[in-house]
Structure 1
Amino acid sequence: MTKLRVVVLGLSLSSSWGNGHATTFRALLRAFAARGHDVLFLERDVPWYASHRDLQDPDFCRLEFYSNLKDLERYRETIKGADAVIVGSYVPQGVDVGRYVQRVANGVVAFYDIDTPVTLAKLERGDYEYLTPNLIPHYDVYFSFTGGPTLNLLIERYGSPAARALYCSVDPEAYPTRDREKRWDLSYLGTYSPDRQPTLERLLIEPARKAPHLRFAVAGPQYPIGIEWPGNVERIDHVPPNDHPAFYARSRYTLNVTRADMIRAGYSPSVRLFEAAACGTPIISDTWEGIETLLEPDREILLARTPDDVLRVLGTWSDDQRRALGTRARHRILKQHTSAHRAASMEQVLFEAIRHRRQEQPLALAVES
């Protein structure tokens, strides 16, 4: 198999604080490197992540930092000579970074959107924070965290030459099952987001108010000080990735909450969904189109719309039922949704794009001459 030289410019690999990008990149790139490929990850050196780094020296790729767009010039030759260069969503000055990469790179250039529905909503309102419509046709591949109809939208409306679903995933070695005494009846792990908060209120905070005898937890940074948490809801500011399995293991159930744009798009699973399932922790989730293609409702995942839906599960499901559901979810994840599966998919698409680019190159050269 041909060894690929890949450069990734992503939001963060070094810090998982306040973002889901780092754990996604870590799982994917570790598995991709295990397939024999060489990866350089370039991360913008910003104070927020610099003060919260929990991965300094990865053993699966090279991690280097650049201070601004001008500083990227240090990597011009590496970017120029790479087989593929991948730019991620929410990269600082992402539009300028994308233009630079598209201008300099000789190999395949791809966009990896870990926030596809949010990105498309931003494009619709003219918010070009890290991507513009004009850039999309010049990315050879658009890797999307969202599947389903969104892929056709990217091709037909925005002119992507190749839009491919690349869902988030989980490294099963990093997210094993753990035997821990249960501390919470229902937990939630996620950074604060205004559009997720109403669902968190409905499916965790309101059940906590109605059932003061049960125990709940909400873990993640950036929650406003003014939120009134019931006394039986434990707040944890941050749980580093290494402690995620233990956190899930102490939960009888964990809650999956999806951002509003992702619910509207459907087919947009969060990384926490796969991580919790890999740990064998039963999941109660909000509902959106396509979730049944990932985990089977009532057999591998439980869906809830109201506080009473949640309380019904917490109050009536036996421990045997709960454990069986978690076990079935874990088996499904290991069979279809590990980082090894995603790395193989990414590899296949990159090789296809490279072959296509080589086939087109002689024609382009002939036109230019």
Structure 2
Amino acid sequence: MKIAFYGSSLLSCYWNGAATYYRGLIRALAALGHEVTFFEPDVFDRQKNRDIEEPDWCRVVVYQPNAGDLRRVTSEAAHADIVVKASGVGFEDDQLVEQLLASASPDALKIFWDVDAPATLADMALSDTHPLRRALPRFDMVLTYGGGDPVVTAYRALGARQCVPIYNALDPETHHPAPPQAQFDADLGFLGNRLPDREARVETFFLAPAAALPGQRFLLGGSGWADKPMTPNIHYLGHVSTRDHNAFNCTPKAVLNISRADMAKTGFSPATRVFEAAGAGACLITDHWEGIDLFLKPGEEVLVARDGQDVVDLLADLSREKASEIGKRALKRVLADHTYDNRARLADQLFRDWREGTGPGLGSRMEAVA
């Protein structure tokens, strides 16, 4: 089927955490025979910070942030069997929704694909007249990259006909074991940009444990932390290129995942970082959130910390040998159960069920995904 996919960016990860998700899923959908065109606006300097060029498995259309170009690219939706509007595109999102719904063929499958459900739902809750909230019943289905039953229930209450999580996953071609690099040597590494809704949790789960363990080396990567007070045993790298992520994950004894506060509260929201680390065979320590056991087995395939003291205790008891074994088990699990090939097969089945008139068969059954 021909898919017109309107999202933030496929070509750049620059301030765009959804890029990994888009790439893995769309590549896998293309392998199943779908013909995908991805439309992305030239905003936030992403085109100046591309980390891939247009791939052979997806046509990419970059449009300028003006009304004329928006009309031009939304008119192409008329030729698609499936029209996807992703959340957080970054230019006139509300207008994009209306133009796509107007341009799409009456026979096309119209999908709202939410790559940040906690934020989107919180925004829609602010007003009964929110543009997306009003448009939601006109979409045939909502797909999300996380959230589980709480998100499904919330979307159904707002009028979504069908809502199914298509979770983050691993793209083995992109994230895999790599040789360690001396510059990334540490006891614990954390990679993440400084964001207001995650900063307090970074203080709790990373900065405080570093202060409590002065004899251990901590590694911090990501933009925005330069003026943040931190102890001398934290080595700050700044922005880490995507080409170095595998080495960053493979080199430290363990790496840390810290969820945004709203995602941790919602649960069932594994970040791409979880699968990137596991796919590299890293020993992952993650903050606690409901549903982690659907993806990795705590204590065997992942270590789970409920607070900063848990991080301290886990590191004090973690040898390189034990960390290596946890990483190997995590890699085996994600390769078996959590690749984008797995996720694309579920999406493909949803598409086919809809076309054959047998949906919404999967509904909110999370066990179909995890």
Same fold (TM over 0.5): yes
User: What pairs up with 1:245-284 in 2 under 5 angstroms?
Assistant: 245-284=246-285
Distance in 2, matches of 1:25 and 1:302, equals 27
Equivalent position amino acid for 1:21 in 2: A
Task: Compare 238-247 and 271-280 and name the one that shifted more.
Answer: 238-247
User: Does 2:51 align with 1:50?
Assistant: no
**Is the 2:97–2:132 Cα contact (8 Å) retained in structure 1?**
no
Equivalence for 2:102: 103
Superposed CA RMSD in Å reads 2.0
Query: Quick one: structure 1 residues 299 and 180, their matched pair in 2 at CA, closer, same or farther if it must change by over 3 Å?
Result: same
Distance in 2, matches of 1:80 and 1:122, equals 29
Equivalence for 1:366: none
TM-score by length of 2: 0.90
Distance in 2, matches of 1:339 and 1:127, equals 35
Equivalence for 2:219: 217
TM-aligned CA deviation for residue 27 of structure 1: 1.1
**Is the 1:187–1:251 Cα contact (8 Å) retained in structure 2?**
yes
Equivalent position amino acid for 2:144 in 1: S
**Is the 2:5–2:37 Cα contact (8 Å) retained in structure 1?**
yes
SS of equivalent residue, structure 2 residue 187:
strand
**Is the 1:24–1:168 Cα contact (8 Å) retained in structure 2?**
yes
Distance in 1, matches of 2:320 and 2:114, equals 38
Equivalence for 1:9: 6
**Is the 2:187–2:217 Cα contact (8 Å) retained in structure 1?**
yes
Distance in 1, matches of 2:113 and 2:304, equals 29
SS of equivalent residue, structure 1 residue 148:
helix
Distance in 1, matches of 2:347 and 2:323, equals 34
Equivalence for 2:164: 164
Distance in 2, matches of 1:111 and 1:240, equals 30
Deviations 1:87-141 (A, max 9, x none): 1111121111111111110111101111001111111224999x62111111111
Task: Compare 49-58 and 101-110 and name the one that shifted more.
Answer: 49-58
SS of equivalent residue, structure 1 residue 111:
strand
Equivalence for 2:88: 90
User: Does 2:37 align with 1:37?
Assistant: no
Query: Quick one: structure 1 residues 69 and 338, their matched pair in 2 at CA, closer, same or farther if it must change by over 3 Å?
Result: farther
Equivalent position amino acid for 2:313 in 1: R
Distance in 2, matches of 1:216 and 1:127, equals 46
Equivalent position amino acid for 2:196 in 1: P
**Is the 2:167–2:343 Cα contact (8 Å) retained in structure 1?**
yes
SS of equivalent residue, structure 2 residue 357:
helix
Distance in 2, matches of 1:302 and 1:357, equals 40
Equivalence for 1:316: 317
**Is the 1:23–1:241 Cα contact (8 Å) retained in structure 2?**
no
**Is the 1:19–1:191 Cα contact (8 Å) retained in structure 2?**
no
Number of residue equivalences: 352
Equivalent position amino acid for 2:77 in 1: I
Distance in 1, matches of 2:74 and 2:293, equals 44
Distance in 2, matches of 1:72 and 1:236, equals 38
Deviations 1:153-179 (A, max 9, x none): 211x11111101011112112111123
Distance in 2, matches of 1:218 and 1:18, equals 17
**Is the 2:39–2:73 Cα contact (8 Å) retained in structure 1?**
no
Equivalent position amino acid for 1:298 in 2: G
Distance in 2, matches of 1:357 and 1:335, equals 28
Distance in 2, matches of 1:247 and 1:254, equals 9
Query: Quick one: structure 1 residues 122 and 232, their matched pair in 2 at CA, closer, same or farther if it must change by over 3 Å?
Result: same
SS of equivalent residue, structure 2 residue 36:
strand
> Identity of counterpart residues, as a percentage?
33
Equivalence for 2:140: 140
Equivalent position amino acid for 2:198 in 1: R
Deviations 1:216-237 (A, max 9, x none): 11211234x5311222212222
Distance in 2, matches of 1:77 and 1:120, equals 28
Query: Quick one: structure 1 residues 200 and 127, their matched pair in 2 at CA, closer, same or farther if it must change by over 3 Å?
Result: farther
TM-score by length of 1: 0.90
TM-aligned CA deviation for residue 69 of structure 1: 3.8
Query: Quick one: structure 1 residues 49 and 166, their matched pair in 2 at CA, closer, same or farther if it must change by over 3 Å?
Result: same
Equivalent position amino acid for 2:355 in 1: I
Q: Which runs of 4+ in 1 moved over 4 A?
A: none
Distance in 1, matches of 2:80 and 2:169, equals 25
Unpaired runs of 5+ in structure 1?
A: 359-369
Distance in 2, matches of 1:89 and 1:274, equals 21
User: What pairs up with 1:166-245 in 2 under 5 angstroms?
Assistant: 166-180=166-180, 183-223=185-225, 225-245=226-246
Equivalent position amino acid for 1:322 in 2: A
Deviations 1:27-58 (A, max 9, x none): 11111111121110000111521221112222
User: Does 2:307 align with 1:306?
Assistant: yes
